Structures are given as structure tokens and as C-alpha cells.
Structure 1
Amino acid sequence: MSTTPIRVLIADGQPIVLEGLRAVLNRQPSIEVVAEAADGIEAIDKCVSLDPDVVLMDVKLPKVDGLTVLRSVQTRAPRSKVILFASGEHKDDFVEAMKLGCCGILLKDSATSLIEKSIVKVHAGEIWLDSTTTAAVIRQFASPTEFPAAHANGKPNRERAQLSQREREIIILISQGYKNKEIAEKMFITEQTVKNHLHNVFDKLGVSDRLELALYAIHNSLHVKP
């Protein structure tokens, strides 16, 4: 297993937030803060020059906002994976960020333990969304204007895979942003059983994570009860 720390750039317009993030991340042996940026222009310049593994940045940066920085990073530092550090009132930016290639959204009121976890997960190639942000993203992606094919003629497309009733129920709950433990409680089954069902669903549908599953469900009208 590699012991090389994950190289992280943090960007936020508030010095106190940068200081807090630095303090939290510097306690993690798996992470190295290689640079800080106080505005969008500085964030872009440092991404290009330092090529960090992960960028954790505020969605509302001074001078150049986070979404513009994200667009620039995608073209000028494509190896860097971006996590947006956002407040709950910025939900309208979440979908646009995911469309632009953002790999994760971390709410500013999240527990500090989730900061390291989100960075590790995103660095490993996964998408990071908690239940709140997942639900916000899914609601917007469910709009007919976002995915008209999912709503065409009002007829769902369920012919791509043979899913059991239990699997369909789990897909609906995943699309609503529920976690495995919450799904287990709602369905009166064990958390391990939920994980087993999800493994089978991922395999049947050819998706690799919960967000892909939720988006597939919306495309094919599997996010609502028949």
C-alpha cells in the first residue's frame, strides 16, 4: 500500500476557514497541504503550477468563483480532482458543479472527520456526496428540463436489467439520498443485506457508485414507484 500522502490544495476567501482546514488536514498523515489560495485566480495559478492530487475549495471564491475555477482546472490541470466546500444555501450550484466534473461536494457544517474521508475517497476515484447533497443533486437531475429522455411520453424504460422488487425499493431510497443504515432500518433488513443488494444492482446496471446509480435510475424512471 502506498504511503505517499495525498497532495491537497485548499482555497477559501476567509482566512479563518483556511486556517481551520489547514489545522485539520495537517493532523492527517495521509494528507499533505501543498498550497493555499485566498481567491479564484490564485487557486487556478497554483493548480497549474503544483498539480495537486485534490483541490478542496469554496464554491464562492473572491475574484473568480468556484465554478469558473473548476472549468479552468478541468482543462489546465485535469489530473487534479476537485471537491467543492459549500454552504447548504448553494444547492443550485451543486448540479452545475457535477456536470463540470466536480468529484465531490462537502458541506461546511460537516464533521471534521468527513473532510479527510472525502479527500481519501475522491483521490481513490470515488464520488463524494453526503445524503443532503445527494438529495439536492438528484432532485435537480430529476427535472424534465435536465433529463427529458427520462420523462419522454411518461413511459419508464425498465428493460435494461432484470431487477428484483427489493432491489427496486433500494434504488428508490438511494435516489432519495438515504444511507445504507437508514435503508436497512426502513426495510427491516440488515445493513450487510443492503450492501449485498447494492453490489448486485451495481453489477446488473454497470454502475460503480451511488451517484451513478441514482442518475441511471432517473434516466430510466427507476427512482419512483411504478
Structure 2
Amino acid sequence: MHASSDSPIRVLLIDSHQIVLWGLEKLIGGEFPRMEVAGLADNGADALKLARESRPDVVLLDLCLGKASSIQLIPGLLKTAGLHMIVFVGASHDRGAVDEAVFHGARGVVYKEQPTATILKAIQKVHEGELWLPRKTMGRVVTSFVQAEPAFADPVTERIVALTRKEGAIVAAFASEAGASNKRIAHTLGISEQTLRNHLTSIFGKLGIRNRFDLFMFAQLHHHRLDIAPARSRPVHP
């Protein structure tokens, strides 16, 4: 179940500490009717079960679930719940874990020491289709992606040539605005959000990628073939 423009954003809370879950439940519950709690879980098995049953819009996921890392849960949550939106909560010193979470599909990063208003804003922005990543995290992820063994082996050119002119314009738009929402990009291109989503489905299939973040990274890595300028280094949230 996904929120419409007039229904609450349904948030699944996952944390191994009951006191943290209690606090987050109070925080999200206090935002009704803008947001509501879709469920609470303190372990991976319950998290996957609740995600499948409650179909939340956003998952607020903590770094550690007891002695286990929650990072490995992200692909399962994405697959089980059909989500494209996960906010990852970690301590600021867990730089490697935060980067790994983003590589696994996390679309937002908020730190435990940040104000509660930041958590709420991150949930809102991620739900709207934007990325919520600190400047340094984004910089490290882009650098690692570009320096790594190419994820998109030849024939890359064949994939790019398969794009229509409109699809090429959409790729260029996402490349230049990493954190822009679907609504903003659709408005810029003069098309509806539904039309944009239809084009994205086609683009993902042609390029062999899974989501908007992969699209941004593909565009940065192959901007010279796409004949577009790479995005400047900048934060994707205020």
C-alpha cells in the first residue's frame, strides 16, 4: 500500500532497542495525519514479515539489530515489500556501514544525533522520490562507483543507442539533478509523473539497472557517451 497525496505516509520502524522504537513511534504518531506507523520490528525476521504484510511507504531502519547488521536486510525489504524508499539510521562514525547501506539500496541517511525534525524531513523527501544523502556520503559513493570495476560491461553503447530521444532527455535530467523528485523532473520535461514513471520502467530495462540511484550513477560513469555534462559535487538535501 502506498500513500496518495491525501493519505498518511506509512512508516515501518525497525530497531532492536525497545526504548528507541517507543520514541520513534511517538514521533511518527505525532505527525498524523501526515504520517502514521505501519508497524514495529526489533529483528530481521519480523521486519520482513511486517514489510510483506503492511506494505509501508518508507522503512526507518537502524544500523544494528542486536548483534547483526541490518544492511543485509535492505535487499530483502526492497524485494519483499516492493519498496523503493528506505531511510537508514546510523551513527555518524559508521561511515563504511552508511556507504554500504546506500550501495544496497538505502535512499536516505540520517544520523541519530540529528534533530527529530531532520528524521521527519528525510522521510517526507524520500517518500517524494528524492535522495536524502549528506554531501560527503554522496561524494564517497560516486567516487567508489567510478573507480570500481565497471558495473556496466560492453556493449554499453548498444544500451544507450536503444534509448529514445525522450528517454535520453530523462536520463540527462536525472544526471544533472541527483536529488530531484519525479514531480520536479516531470514538470521540467513537460510531461506527467505517470508518463515519467512509464519512461523510467523502459529506461531501467534497456540499461539493465534497477532504480533511480543506479540511473544517476550510470549517467555519471558514461556521461561522455550520453553527451551530457556530469553533475557537480553538491549535497542532495539542504
Q: What interval of TM-score do these two structures reach, taking the shorter chain for normalisation? A: 0.5 to 0.7
Which aligned pairs between 1:112-151 and structure 2 lie closer than 5 A?
A: 112-142=116-146, 144-145=147-148, 147=150
Q: SS state of the match for residue 207, structure 1?
A: helix
Change (3 A) 1:85 1:124: same
**Unmatched tracts of structure 1, length 5 or more:** 150-201
Change (3 A) 1:54 1:137: same
Change (3 A) 1:5 1:74: same
Q: SS state of the match for residue 67, structure 1?
A: coil
TM value normalised by structure 2: 0.61
Q: SS state of the match for residue 10, structure 2?
A: strand
**Unmatched tracts of structure 2, length 5 or more:** 153-168, 180-212, 225-229, 234-238
Change (3 A) 1:128 1:223: closer
CA shift at 1:21, angstroms?
Answer: 1.6
- Aligned with residue 14 of structure 2, among 11, 15, 21: 11
CA shift at 1:9, angstroms?
Answer: 0.7
Aligned counterpart, 1:21: 24
Aligned counterpart, 2:196: none
In the alignment, the residues of structure 1 paired with residue 57 and residue 43 of structure 2 have an alpha-carbon distance, to the nearest angstrom, of 19
- String of CA shifts for 1:194-226, please: whole Å, max 9, x gaps: xxxxxxxx979331632669744455595799x
- Aligned with residue 173 of structure 2, among 200, 206, 210: 206
Q: SS state of the match for residue 12, structure 2?
A: strand
Change (3 A) 1:147 1:87: farther
Q: Is the 8 A contact 1:40 1:62 kept in 2?
A: no
Aligned counterpart, 1:77: 81
Q: Is the 8 A contact 2:63 2:88 kept in 1?
A: yes
Which structure's CA Rg is the greater one?
A: 1
In the alignment, the residues of structure 2 paired with residue 140 and residue 87 of structure 1 have an alpha-carbon distance, to the nearest angstrom, of 21
Which amino acid is the alignment partner of residue 27 of structure 1?
Answer: G
In the alignment, the residues of structure 2 paired with residue 15 and residue 77 of structure 1 have an alpha-carbon distance, to the nearest angstrom, of 23
CA shift at 1:117, angstroms?
Answer: 0.9
CA shift at 1:72, angstroms?
Answer: 0.9
In the alignment, the residues of structure 2 paired with residue 69 and residue 148 of structure 1 have an alpha-carbon distance, to the nearest angstrom, of 22
- The question of 1:66 aligning with 2:53 is answered no
Q: Is the 8 A contact 1:95 1:137 kept in 2?
A: yes
- The question of 1:54 aligning with 2:22 is answered no
In the alignment, the residues of structure 1 paired with residue 72 and residue 131 of structure 2 have an alpha-carbon distance, to the nearest angstrom, of 20
Which amino acid is the alignment partner of residue 131 of structure 2?
Answer: I
- String of CA shifts for 1:67-100, please: whole Å, max 9, x gaps: 2211211221113621111112322233332333
CA shift at 1:105, angstroms?
Answer: 1.6
Aligned counterpart, 2:115: 111
- Aligned with residue 34 of structure 1, among 32, 38, 62: 38
In the alignment, the residues of structure 1 paired with residue 111 and residue 45 of structure 2 have an alpha-carbon distance, to the nearest angstrom, of 23
In the alignment, the residues of structure 2 paired with residue 132 and residue 26 of structure 1 have an alpha-carbon distance, to the nearest angstrom, of 31
TM value normalised by structure 1: 0.63
Change (3 A) 1:79 1:223: closer
In the alignment, the residues of structure 2 paired with residue 76 and residue 95 of structure 1 have an alpha-carbon distance, to the nearest angstrom, of 22
- String of CA shifts for 1:134-187, please: whole Å, max 9, x gaps: 234334334x225588xxxxxxxxxxxxxxxxxxxxxxxxxxxxxxxxxxxxxx
Q: SS state of the match for residue 87, structure 2?
A: strand
Let me know the Cα RMSD of the aligned residues. Answer: 3.2
In the alignment, the residues of structure 2 paired with residue 113 and residue 82 of structure 1 have an alpha-carbon distance, to the nearest angstrom, of 17
CA shift at 1:62, angstroms?
Answer: 2.7
